Amino acid sequence: MNIHAIICTRSKTQITKTLHDLLSFLSRCEVKTNVVVGSKSIFDAYKNTFNKIKTDPDDIVIFCHDDIEIKESESDFKTKIFKLCNESDKVGFVGPAGTTFLSQNAVWWDHELWRQGFHRGKVYHINQNNQIYSTDYGPPADVVVLDGLFLAAKASAIEDIGLSKPQYFEGEWDFYDIHYTSKAFLMGYTNKILDIAIIHHSNGELVGRESWHKNREAFVNNTKLPLKITS
């Protein structure tokens, strides 16, 4: 059983220090890493690269941003991801942050729902003074959707769920995570919070893009919402 990683980066000129450190960590974990540079679509980058790499059904594939640090020991990282992805044959995606309730606005991190206790997981950030702080959403649990900074699943589940962009999406980079993980949930898979420490060197600035809003609206118009954990 192997672990693969597919990292889609927009940087065409150089590997940033953050990406260099991420690749070094994954290499120490014996993860077979694929970096996709200059793709016009994150959907195509993930789908085409997954189709090219040789995976066994029980292999695990990671899809992650190029601006994260994984602050775990190599052994703990591998143990946690193998254990969670193999809890049952119906585990879908696992990742560090998500929600048990996706409302009609399809914004998983909706602050009102956060205050009501629906969100799960934890992500770390670095402030302007280079201090690390955590965004605590809630204790690990099963969730309906996950944030796309880090997603992982067994190859057999990915084959079943699929990675194609839905025709109703105009944007090539937005809402892929909500589409993938909600599709897994609706197909009967269980998405789960993976309790690992990840520093995300981004505060979600891309959410303000017009393409994000268009894809969100298209998702809302083509999905029966809300989605929620019922048990």
Q: Which two tokens stand for residue 231?
A: 């048990």
Which pLDDT band holds residue 202 (cuts at 50, 70, 90)?
confident
- pLDDT recorded at residue 208: 61
Exposure string for 138-173, b = 16+ CB within 10 A, e = fewer: bebebbbbbbbbbbbbbbebbebbebebbeebebbb
Using CA atoms, how far apart are residues 213 and 101, in angstroms rounded to an integer? 20
CA proximity to 178, closest of 155, 138, 207, 144: 144
- Say how many C-beta atoms besides its own lie within 10 A of residue 137's C-beta: 23
Q: 53 and 32 in contact (C-beta within 8 Å)?
A: yes
Question: For residue 139, is the peptide bond before it cis, meaning its omega torsion is within 30 degrees of 0?
Answer: no
- pLDDT recorded at residue 11: 67
Round the average pLDDT of the chain to a whole number and report it. 94
Q: What is the pLDDT of residues 82-129, one digit of tens each?
A: 999 999 999 999 999 999 999 999 999 999 999 999 999 999 999 888
- pLDDT recorded at residue 10: 72
- The CATH number that domain 3-228 falls under is 3.90.550.10
User: Would you kindly state where each structural domain of the chain is located, as residue ranges?
Assistant: 3-228
* pTM of the predicted structure, to 2 decimals: 0.95
- What burial class does residue 98 get, using C-beta atoms within 10 Å of its C-beta: 0-12 exposed, 13-18 middle, 19+ buried? buried
Question: Helix (H) and strand (E) counts for the chain?
Answer: 7, 15
Q: What is the pLDDT of residues 22-63, one digit of tens each?
A: 999 999 999 999 999 988 999 999 999 999 999 999 999 999
